[in-house]
Every structure is written in structure tokens, then in C-alpha cells.
Chain A
């Protein structure tokens, strides 16, 4: 039996969602590890794009920011930021947007702006960055996020980035033609939108996790698919590549003054 952590299970499951021919806009934070793991395992031709303008980047270590030099040095090409957002993202050239979130609702709407009231916030978060347009311009959106009652809420405090809105066909009513959030990968399970209502339903549970664990860590009423799969455990190659990536990254970031 291979030993792994819930976070490793999450990162490996997120990586598996990407295909070799995807063109993926990588959001800041957790998506970066998943996207690069995919590239270093089953999807070597996967095109990774960071909003700093790097196209087809193949970093050897994970960047701390979305604009570390490593991204540019290993990219096929680096373009200016307006070009990135106008031609490549808005122009519809990107198949998958990979995002994280601070707060999420069951329709995949994302808050990364404030906790509490916008004008008088309890906690001021960094804000949207590229996410509001990544969420609407990419062919589909994957979300990776650790599951907790605090983060997975019935109603988010601020809609930074559109998911499925209020569900059903609401997303399309904003003139958005892309698919939106099609997969949510957590440290406990995988959820996918209900074909009609568009609310996330649990379709796969990670080994060792119970339905009660998922319910306890979710602020909305969790729904389970009629047939729930068990997520395959990380294989030895996935784990060793991921651990080596993290080890190289830690060494690179702490080796400086």
C-alpha cells in the first residue's frame, strides 16, 4: 500500500483531469502543482499558460509567483500581458482554466475578493486578478480547493468569478457561451455539476473518506451521484514525480538570500 497525504491525493486527482492536448490557463496557488504534475506524467504535450504572458512553459520548479523567471526561460514564447488577455484568453484559444478559490458555492461561483461586506470587509482578500475572465473565456473550468465548511458555503460573500450563477441556464444569461466549472477536485472527493441544475454533486470519493466526512466539511446540502466511484489512489510514479517537484521547488526558493 502506497502512503500519501490527502493533499497529494487532491493534487494527483486534479492533474489527471488534464489531457495531453489541453491548453491550460494556470491560476495562482494550488493549480500550479497539479498542472505541472500532469505535464510531468501522463500529459507531456500539455500547454501551460500563465497570465504573465508565458505560453507553453515547462518550469523545472514550481513558481512562487505567476511571473517567476523560470516560467519565461522555459516557455515557447512570452507575450505582453494585454496580448495574453486579449488574443489568447478572450480570443477563445484556451481549453481549460484551472482555478483555486477562498470561498465557493455549490454552483462553482468563486469568491477571492472579500469576506464580509465589500466596503467594510472582515477580511480583505487579494481580489480577482485574471480569474473573472478566465472563468468565462476558457472552454471549461476546473477548480481545486481543500474542502471545509468555511470555504464551501451556501452563499459566497462576493461573486468574484462566475460559475453557473444561480444554476440551470443562468450562466448563459450573461452572454457566456463557455461550459464553466465542470470539475471540482478536493482533498476528499471529486464533484461535477448536475446536468440540469448545475449544482455540484459528488461523483467520486477518495479512498478512506466517508460520505459523512464530505457532509461535515461542506456548507451546502451535499448531493451524491446515483453511482459514486472510488478515486483511484495515486500511483508510485505520480507520487515520486510530485514529491521530487516539491523538493526541487523548496530548495530553489530557500536557496536565496
Chain B
């Protein structure tokens, strides 16, 4: 099935439902914040959230009560400190208890890759001497059938839905990613459905390398044009990471009331159209 262009509201309503397993990827770069806000606005619940670095986007979803479980490998606010909504969910069960499945980056990167490759699990040299296997039953060890080497194994990641942000879609609905491409391609190919928000829809991509990171229109489900949709992360070539906002998030997220007020003002009473102004304020 060929991808359809739609509004963010339509894309989330048609692709994401209560109880889904959802991966919203983007490794510091191209984090689909506008789509995260839309999930909160639609009041979707009981999600299993998968993401290597939960970052501010999942801090918001967790604090807003959308998550049942989190699968992750590094849960901080990069260069700033803790994700306070995540921390409070784990330490004090607010707004409710959050189940966690914790991995290393290598494990999750391998698990996405295995998901995209249609494999049931990923095998890698990992977790040697580390304690996570004691507390995470989804980390096992197997023996290489050829050499006998002991290797770590984790289940592949196969989300119901993957949501990512990219720089461009063309009129046909093919997608182009540039810069730090993280695990976005793997996460989309591993999922049943996908939502791709983009900075802009162009007639054609022009002169790009034949080896550029792209997804064809028949490999994605929904495409939405949301200029600035990755703010406060960034889109290479469009706008810079809003490092000042990452710092400003710390006191907002630290306090339940400040957090609730922020969500009310910027998410419940906001919309994807608000992101364009944030892009302009952080122009590359």
C-alpha cells in the first residue's frame, strides 16, 4: 500500500490506538515532537513506548499518563541531567506505575536492525559482566553453534507503529533523511505501520547521493508535513537544536504542577501549526 498524505490528527487517529507498542525514534536529531504532542492531545493510553533515549518527548508522554511500559537504553536529558517525569514515574509511581525494560544502546540498535530484517532476535557481543541481564528477563545468552562463543540475545523490536521525523518527502511520498540518521530507517522497516512527519514536501529531491538514506513511498503508511515538527530537537539544514529549551525543561519537568500547566498551555491548547514559529526562532 502506498503512503497517504494526511493531517497529523488523522495520522495519529488512524495509526495509533490504546495499548499499542510504539517506537518514536530520532537519535537527538529529528525527534518527532509534534507527533508526540498529538498523541497526548488524543488521550491515547496504555502505550508501550520504545526509544533508545526517551528524552524530553517520552518525559512528556509519561508525565501525561500515556504510557504503561517503557523500553529504553539511556533515560536522561542529554547534557542537562535527569528526565524528572520518567524519574518520578519509576521512583514514586506518578501519575501511575510504569513498567520498564532496560537495555544498552548496542542491544536496542541490534534489536531494531533484527526487527527490520525479519528476525525473531538479535545476537551480539554485549552485556559481558554487566548486571542488566539479572533484572531484565529479555536478555539471554546463547552459544554460537560454530565457535561456541557466548553471545547476548535480545528479542527483535517489532512495533505496531513507528513515528519518525525527516527533512523531506517528495510528491510521491518517498522520504529523505539527512544528518544523524540514528535508527529511524530500521525502526520504520521493523514496524507494522509508520507515521513520518517532514519539514517539507518537495517536487523532487534534486541532486542527492544515490546512497542517501531514503524510504520509498510503499514502505511507509502516513506522511504529514509539519514544519518545525522536531523542535526542540533539530532538523539538519533547517534549524538547530534548541539547547536553551532543553535546559529550560529541567525546572518545568521537576515540578508536577509546572509540568501540568506546560502541557495544558502548549499541548492541549496547541497544535502542529505552532512548530513553524519555533523553527524560525532556531534557524540554522
Contact = CB atoms under 8 A, between A and B. Distances in A.
B29 A81 contact: no
Interface stretch (B41-49, B76-84, B249-257): B76-84
Contacts of B247: 253
B282 interface: yes
A137 B27 CA distance: 22
Nearest to A254: B244
A54 B132 contact: no
The number of chain A residues touching the other chain, given as a range, is 35 or more
A137 B124 CA distance: 11
Interface stretch (B14-22, B98-106, B167-175, B193-201): B98-106
24 contacts: A28-B78, A52-B180, A53-B181, A69-B29, A71-B180, A72-B29, A80-B183, A80-B213, A86-B124, A113-B132, A126-B76, A128-B102, A128-B104, A128-B130, A128-B132, A130-B104, A132-B132, A133-B104, A133-B105, A136-B129, A175-B149, A253-B247, A256-B245, A257-B245
B58 to A, nearest CB: 13
Contacts, number: 191
A136 B152 CA distance: 13
A125 B77 CA distance: 11
Contacts of A176: 128-129
Contacts of A85: 105-106, 109-110, 124
A158 B105 contact: no
Contact of B80 (A64, A121, A123): A64
A160 B91 CA distance: 19
A254 B245 CA distance: 10
B110 A82 contact: yes
B282 A72 contact: no
Contacts of A73: 236
A171 B236 CA distance: 41
A127 B74 contact: yes
A53 B73 CA distance: 16
Contact of A89 (B73, B106, B245): B106
A50 B79 CA distance: 14
B104 A129 contact: yes
A63 interface: yes
Interface of B: 27-29, 52-53, 72-76, 78-80, 82-83, 86-87, 90-91, 102, 104-106, 109-110, 112-113, 124-132, 135, 149-150, 179-183, 185-186, 213, 234, 236, 240-247, 281-282, 284
B78 A64 contact: yes
A104 B133 CA distance: 20
A82 B135 CA distance: 24
B27 A81 contact: yes
A60 B247 CA distance: 21
Contacts of B73: 127-129
Contact of B106 (A63, A69, A90): A90
A129 B180 contact: no
A162 interface: yes
Given A64-B243, A69-B284, A126-B82, A171 B131 contact: no
Contact of B130 (A54, A137, A160): A160
A18 interface: no
Nearest to A120: B91
Given A65-B28, A256-B244, A161 B181 contact: no
Listed residue (A53, A121, A129, A137) with the most chain B CB atoms within 10 angstroms of its CB: A129
Given A52-B180, A80-B186, A174 B128 contact: yes
A68 B76 CA distance: 15
B130 A132 contact: yes
Contacts of A118: 131, 135
B240 A132 contact: no
A69 B131 contact: no
Contact of B110 (A69, A86, A127, A132): A86
A203 to B, nearest CB: 25
B186 A65 contact: no
Contacts of B244: 253-254, 256-257
B128 A69 contact: no
A68 B113 CA distance: 23
Nearest to A29: B79
